Amino acid sequence: MTTATLLVRALPPQVVKDLLVRDDAGRPAVPFADGEGGAPLRCCLRRSRPGERIALVSYAPLRRWAAETGVDPGAYDERGPVFVHAEECAGPEGDGLPFTSAHRVLRRYSADGRILGGRLVEAPEDFVPALREAFAEEAVALVHVRAVEYGCFLYEVRRG
Give the SS3 label for residue 87. Answer: coil
Residue 3's pLDDT is what?
54
Same domain? For 8 and 54 the reply is yes
Q: Is residue 141 part of a domain?
A: yes
pLDDT digits (tens, 9 = 90+) for 109-160: 999 999 999 999 999 999 999 999 999 999 999 999 999 988 899 999 998 7
**φ, ψ for residue 62, nearest 5 deg:** -70, -30
Tell me: pLDDT of 80 over 80. Answer: yes
Q: What mean pLDDT value characterizes the chain?
A: 93
| Residues in a beta bridge with 105 | 120, 146
Residue 160's pLDDT is what?
79
Residue 157's pLDDT is what?
95
Tell me: pLDDT of 27 over 80. Answer: yes
**φ, ψ for residue 126, nearest 5 deg:** -90, -5
- How many structural domains are present in the chain? 2
Same domain? For 8 and 43 the reply is yes
Q: What is the mean pLDDT of residues 92-106?
A: 89
Provide the residue range defining the domain that includes 151: 104-159
What is the rounded distance in angstroms from the CA atom of residue 18 to the CA atom of residue 60? 12
Q: Is residue 7 part of a domain?
A: yes
Q: Is residue 154 part of a domain?
A: yes
Q: Is residue 62 part of a domain?
A: yes
Residue 96's pLDDT band, with cuts at 50, 70 and 90, is confident
Where a domain ends, among 57, 85, 113? Answer: 85
Where a domain ends, among 37, 56, 85? Answer: 85
Q: What is the mean pLDDT of residues 60-67?
A: 93
Q: Is residue 98 part of a domain?
A: no
Tell me: pLDDT of 31 over 80. Answer: yes
Q: Is residue 96 part of a domain?
A: no
Same domain? For 135 and 78 the reply is no
Q: Which of 96, 66, 70 is nearest to 79 (CA)?
A: 66
Same domain? For 81 and 147 the reply is no
Same domain? For 13 and 74 the reply is yes
Q: Is residue 116 part of a domain?
A: yes
pTM of the model: 0.92
